[in-house]
Amino acid sequence: MEQSHTDDPIDPSSLGRGPLRRAVYFFAECESTNKEARRLADRGEAVGALVLADFQTAGRGRLDRAWQAPRGSSLLFSMLLRPALSPERALLPVMAASLGVMEGIRRVCNLNARLKWPNDILIGGRKAGGILCEGGFEGSAVKYVIIGIGLNVNFDPRAVAGIPPDAASIQSALGRPQPRAALLRAILEEIECRYALLLRGGSLRGEWARALDTLGRRTRITLPDGELAGTAESVDESGALVLRLDNGSRRIVPAGDAIHLKSGE
């Protein structure tokens, strides 16, 4: 049975103003916020549109995995960006978004959130959120980038069918509900300052590396053409993972599905 959390509505006017919340499009229900953001992008919407939903009927994560959250329980939103970045740097906004979510959680909830490469938000070592980046291109130029974010807030993952029982949520970690609007505003503010740094030519590599639980761990990466296993040594300026393979060679992995391995695996 679907849980409902209608006692914690998000008033878009409470989110304040900023470059990535120039216009806020709120949906009580939609298929997915990324899909709505793509529609806006294809219609020529300017940078800074924020699409926010209380419920998604077809939310997605990486590799087209379903992303589920009870109605009115979580933060489900997408940002429309039009960065002047080359295609090989088009994933840099994911770094800004991940770090912004992590720091927003720390700032408002006083929780030690961490990141798992390439796009997971961890609380207590368990997944509490994820980020999905989709781009639009004209030839070799980046036309737009959409960053979709899902964060488990006010529900117990163990009580919701279809959500992994080992998932985390803000409420489970705090032992109480967390007003969503205050958390979302802090997250957006943290993302905006890091995105502005990227646009000025600055680097997030150091902060990204310090935030990643993946570094220093044996990790298996699933790629379209197979799997790699080794120790995650570092990240490069684009956010790609530098993996030391078991044969001693190094491999730079721009993206992939990562699993942290236990000792002996």
Q: What is the pLDDT of residue 127?
A: 95
Whether 62 has a pLDDT exceeding 60, the answer reads: no
Tell me the per-residue pLDDT of 208-217, one tens digit each, with 9 for 90 and over. 999 999 999 9
Taking the CA atoms of residue 103, residue 114, residue 82 and residue 197 in that order, the dihedral angle to the nearest 10 degrees is 50
User: Does residue 58 carry a pLDDT above 80?
Assistant: no
Rounded mean pLDDT, 196-222: 94
Tell me whether strands 23-27 and 241-245 are parallel, antiparallel or unpaired.
unpaired
12-210 belongs to CATH 3.90.1520.10:
no
Query: Residue 146: its pLDDT value, please?
Result: 95
This prediction has a pTM of: 0.92
CA distance 49 to 183: 19
CATH class belonging to 215-260: mainly beta
Q: What percent of the chain has pLDDT over 90?
A: 72
What is the reported pLDDT for 68?
A: 76
Residue-wise pLDDT for 76-123, tens only, equals: 999 999 988 777 777 799 999 999 999 999 999 999 999 999 999 999
Task: Tell me the pLDDT tens digit for each residue of 2-50.
Answer: 444 547 889 999 999 999 999 999 999 999 999 999 999 999 999 999 9
Task: Between 41 and 69, name the one with better pLDDT.
Answer: 41
Q: Count CB neighbours of 11 within 10 A.
A: 9
| Amino acid 64: pLDDT | 55
Break the chain into its structural domains and give their ranges: 12-210, 215-260
